[in-house]
Amino acid sequence: MRIILCGFGVVGQSLVKLFDSRSEDLYAKYGLKPRVVGVFDSKGSAVDSSGLDLQKLIEAKKKSGTVKNYSDTKNSMSGIEMLKHVEADILIETTASNYKDAEPGMSHITTAMKKGMHVISVNKGPLALAFPSLMELAVYNQVMFKFSGTVGGGTPILDYAKNSLSGERITSFAGILNGTTNYILSNMSTGLSFDSALKDAQSKGYVEADESLDLDGLDAAAKLVILANWVMGMKVTLPDIDCTGIRKVTTDDIKKADKNNCSVKLIASCDGKLVVGPKEISNDDPLCVNGTLNAIAFTSEHSGTQTIIGRGAGGIETASSILRDLLDIRQEIART
Amino acid sequence: MRIILCGFGVVGQSLVKLFDSRSEDLYAKYGLKPRVVGVFDSKGSAVDSSGLDLQKLIEAKKKSGTVKNYSDTKNSMSGIEMLKHVEADILIETTASNYKDAEPGMSHITTAMKKGMHVISVNKGPLALAFPSLMELAVYNQVMFKFSGTVGGGTPILDYAKNSLSGERITSFAGILNGTTNYILSNMSTGLSFDSALKDAQSKGYVEADESLDLDGLDAAAKLVILANWVMGMKVTLPDIDCTGIRKVTTDDIKKADKNNCSVKLIASCDGKLVVGPKEISNDDPLCVNGTLNAIAFTSEHSGTQTIIGRGAGGIETASSILRDLLDIRQEIART
């Protein structure tokens, strides 16, 4: 399968390493032979329609911070140009999430779909701003659109809700969907002030370059949009979320909660209304996880409430979710 | 789809009610029209090859404790006879788990498979004693064999591990797989003695008629066998499990654990060895759930540890897992 990879940060590099280290196993077990024919990062591109040398690609990126120097030609094709001119079967979109206009991810995805390419996105921007219309575009162009890695990183939350619970009606859900704010709130409960806890999280590399994405709840809200559309069949986008971040949470709030055997968590919930905001939840609730963990509780008609807990995003976790999507697409193609 | 239902206890009755209440929705959404052509309980049978009247069936059971009085003929066919003489597509096996010789479930399942029927079992006995050979028999007879409800009740643990984590390698797992013992241990941690906690659990109807199945860890061990075979590809049966129950756990053990911020839980684990036994685990571990909840933590190569928490078995939860299996079979048949 010929792949164009847009974005070559931590996730893209982890994915390429995964392809490289598991190539034999992927072919033997799943008949999957991923051939990366084009990679685009913010400074340039690398293209080879017979398949790029993955180790050489990693080295070029490591050496000069871009894939542009993969070959002597110093390719400076943009992502859009590459999608238009290089033949491929699948776009893997891993550029940074942007909640203003969702670019450049949005153009990458729509261009690929219009060319009849299947799309895997771990970029949440286009989904948060245009989930319903992107799904329509995929149906119209008869391509598959997968995005397992956008919620829960390596923890297959979307798949669980959709497939494992098939035949069941999910009536509501609530989750801790952003590991960074959960880490900060967990640390505040041990006595740290908001500012110290934020600094600690930053020093560990947990906070997005644009800290507002974490602290003002945008990342959690984007994930809530994706869940609401995918799991509940709603047709909503980011402006439909009532969203409050954690900047105003004080150590006093946390102490008060603690007296009731509760903790303050940034909860994204879908229960009639779509809300992201700080909320007291009982320490005995399985949802009440600490550190950078994510957790989500689905309440279903017949099977009660089921909670899934796992690590949130991380390079290798997200890469493994992309691989899962790729295997799904491979299987679906084999079937038809 | 023509169904023979063996066993008509809480689960069987919940399932029939589910069929009845969701018949329109199941047909519209999934093209599934379950037609129950035979039901067998310990006292007799009800058979109608054009489909039994589900409400009348429930009423007969309620009135006289058996389906034998469904019609005036007072059918006393055994399960085996029914499977041999009544044409059907699927056996749903819900008789009680028996870890000595797995009967009558074992004969029901093998008879059905040999006749070319697909099988859904929530009876753990045959799986615990003969998982590898039953899988072989299913393959040999080209029938599907499903058993989602045997582990986690309504919580789709088996499906999660197998499908949601496809492309991932699960390296180990550990879980609280028996809600009854977890309820007893949780109550002991509030100060109750083992005997009082057991009595309380019995008064709530949580304990199996043969209390040894819960207290000596047999139920958890049977589930461990199923997980080890299904998730890890091992070929093991009940005698391969190193199994200790909770009878020897004292309030002193629990107090000692509490001092280390730990709780004593009956843990079933697969990590090189297959063990069921009481173990101290940290209260901060997501696995550390209380009451009748079940929880399982899968550790995978790339996605870290993922914990799923949900209610264990219950009539309606287990019935919903059977429905899920039925939809899977329906879908698979439509495909081929």
Query: For residue range B27-64, what is the model confidence (pLDDT) as tens digits?
Result: 998 889 999 999 999 999 999 999 999 999 999 999 99
CA B106 to chain centre: 15
Which residue in the block uniquely carries the two structure tokens 């008064």? B203
**DSSP label at residue B70:** G
Pair (B230, B142) in one structural domain: no
Using CB atoms, which residue from A304, A305, A311 is nearest to B303? Answer: A311
Least confident of A294-298, B83-87, B157-161, B292-296: B157-161
Question: Could you tell me how far CA B141 lies from the centroid of its own chain?
Answer: 23
Residues of A in contact with B156 (CB under 8 A): 160, 164-165
> Is the interface score ipTM higher than 0.95?
no
Contact assignment for B286 to A309 by CB distance below 8 Å: yes
User: Distance of CA A215 to CAs A193, A206, A247, Å?
Assistant: 15, 12, 6
From B160, B167, B321, residue closest to A327, measured CB to CB? B167
Options A223, A235, A256, A259, the catalytic residue: A223
pLDDT higher at B146 or A154: B146
- Among chain B residues, CA nearest to A162: B164
Q: Is the CB of B164 less than 8 angstroms away from the CB of A165?
A: no
Does one domain contain both B106 and B201? no
The token pair that represents A1 in the structure block: 């399968």
Which sign, positive or negative, has the C-alpha torsion A310, B148, B134, B215? Answer: positive
Q: Is A233 on the interface with B (CB under 8 A)?
A: no
| Residue A284 DSSP one-character state | T
Q: Are residues B192 and B328 in the same domain?
A: no
The residues of B annotated with a catalytic role in the active site are: 223
Residue A164 pLDDT > 80, yes or no? no
Pure H helices in chain B: 10-21, 23-30, 54-64, 79-85, 105-114, 125-140, 157-159, 179-188, 194-203, 212-215, 218-232, 251-259, 315-335
Nearest by Cα to B223 from B280, B264, B284, B182: B182
Cis omega (within 30 of 0) for bond into B104? yes
Which residues on A lie below 8 Å from B321 (Cβ)?
A: 303
**Residues in Cβ contact with B122 at an 8 Å cutoff, skipping those fewer than 6 apart:** B11, B92, B93, B94, B147, B149, B150, B318, B321, B322
**Pair (A184, A135) in one structural domain:** no
Whether residue B159 is predicted with pLDDT greater than 90 in this model: the reply is: no
B229-270 pLDDT, tens per residue? 999 999 999 999 999 999 999 999 999 999 999 999 999 999
| Residue A240, domain extent | 157-311
Which of A303, A305, A326 is the best residue to mutate to test the B interface, defined by the most B CB atoms within 10 Å of its own CB? A303
Question: Which structure tokens are listed for B26?
Answer: 């199941």
pLDDT digits (tens, 9 = 90+) for B183-224: 999 999 999 999 999 999 999 988 888 999 999 999 999 999
Contact call for residues B217 and B244 (beta carbons, < 8 A): yes
Out of A165, A284, A310, the one facing B156 most closely (by C-beta) is A165
> Among A160, A308, A317, whose Cβ lies nearest the Cβ of B302?
A317
DSSP designation for B162: I
Determine whether the interchain pair B154/A308 forms a contact, defined as Cβ–Cβ distance below 8 Å: no
Active site residue A223: yes
What is the per-residue pLDDT across B267-287, written as a single tens digit (0 to 9) for each? 999 998 999 999 999 998 999
For residue A29, the model assigns a pLDDT of: 85
From residue A105, alpha-carbon distances to A188, A217, A323, B124, B180 in Å are: 35, 21, 19, 49, 50
Determine the residue of chain A that is closest to B311 in CA distance. A304
Residue A80's domain is classified under what CATH number? 3.40.50.720
Q: Do A308 and B306 touch (CB under 8 A)?
A: yes
Residues A122 and A172 in one domain: no
Between CA B313 and CA B112 the distance in angstroms is 25
Classify strands A262-271 and A170-176 as parallel, antiparallel or unpaired: antiparallel
Residues A243, A113 within the same domain? no
Q: Taking Cα atoms as reference points, which of B118, B18, B66 lies closest to residue B318?
A: B18
- Best of B166, B283, B300, B326 to mutate (most A CBs within 10 Å, chain A): B166
Same domain? For B143 and B76 the reply is yes
Nearest 5°: the CA angle A50, A55, A61 is 100
Regarding whether A222 and A209 lie in a shared domain, the answer is yes
pLDDT at B219: 96
CA-closest candidate to residue B200, choices B186, B215, B184, B216: B184
Q: Within this chain, do residues A20 and A44 fall inside the same structural domain, yes or no?
A: yes
Instruction: Express each pLDDT in A202-229 by its tens digit.
Output: 999 888 889 999 999 999 999 999 999 9
Q: Which residues of A touch B160 (CB under 8 A)?
A: 156, 160, 164
- The reply to whether B290 touches chain A by the CB within 8 Å rule is yes
Task: Inform me whether the C-beta atom of residue A160 falls under 8 Å from chain B C-beta atoms.
Answer: yes
Q: Say yes or no for a CB contact (<8 Å) between B164 and A166.
A: no
Domain count of the fold of chain A: 2
* Closest CA relative to residue B150, chosen from B167, B136, B168, B131: B131
Alpha-carbon distance of B136 to B143, in angstroms, equals 10
Local structure of residue B153 (DSSP, 8 states): T
Q: Is A181 on the interface with B (CB under 8 A)?
A: no
Instruction: Measure CB to CB from residue A303 to each of B154, B160, B284 and give the nearest one.
Output: B154
Cβ–Cβ below 8 Å for B327 and A300: no
- Pair A116, A167 in one domain: no
CA–CA distance, A83 with A67 (Å, rounded to integer): 16
pLDDT grade, residue A74 (50/70/90)? confident
Q: The tokens of B174 are what?
A: 């550990």
pTM: 0.88
Q: What is the pLDDT of residue B155?
A: 85
* Cα separation, B336 vs B332, whole angstroms: 7
E strands along chain A, which residues? 2-6, 35-41, 44-47, 90-93, 118-121, 145-146, 170-176, 242-243, 262-271, 273-282, 293-300, 304-311
Mean pLDDT along residues A284-305: 91
Which among B274, B268, B245, B260 is positioned nearest to B185, based on CA atoms?
B245
Q: In this structure, are residues A90 and A3 in contact, taking their beta carbons and an 8 Å threshold?
A: yes
Residues A76, A198 within the same domain: no
How far A84 CA sits from the closest chain B CA (Å)? Answer: 30
Contact state of B167 with A323 under an 8 Å Cβ cutoff: yes
The side-by-side arrangement of strands in the sheet containing B35-41 is B44-47, B35-41, B2-6, B90-93, B118-121, B145-146
Nearest to A147 by CA among A168, A169, A131: A131
Contacts for A78-82: CB closer than 8 Å, 24+ residues apart: A78/A40, A78/A45, A79/A6, A79/A40, A79/A45, A79/A104, A79/A107, A79/A108, A80/A104, A80/A107, A80/A108, A80/A111, A82/A4, A82/A6, A82/A38, A82/A40, A82/A45, A82/A47
Q: Does B284 contact chain A (CB < 8 Å)? A: yes
CA–CA distance, A278 with A248 (Å, rounded to integer): 9
Q: What's the token pair of residue B165?
A: 């984590």
Phi and psi at residue B41, in whole multiples of 5°? -125, -175
pLDDT of residue A179: 93
CATH code (residue A227): 3.30.360.10
In this complex, how many residue pairs, one in chain A and one in chain B, have their CB atoms less than 8 Å apart? 125
> Looking at the complex, does the CB of residue A321 fall below 8 Å from at least one CB of chain B?
yes
The DSSP annotation for A169-198 comes to -EEEEEEE--HHHHHHHHHHTTT--HHHHH
* B171–chain A Cβ distance below 8 A for any pair: no
- Looking at CA atoms only, how far is residue B159 from chain A in angstroms? 6
Percent of chain B exceeding pLDDT 70 equals: 99
Q: Same structural domain for residues B70 and B211? A: no
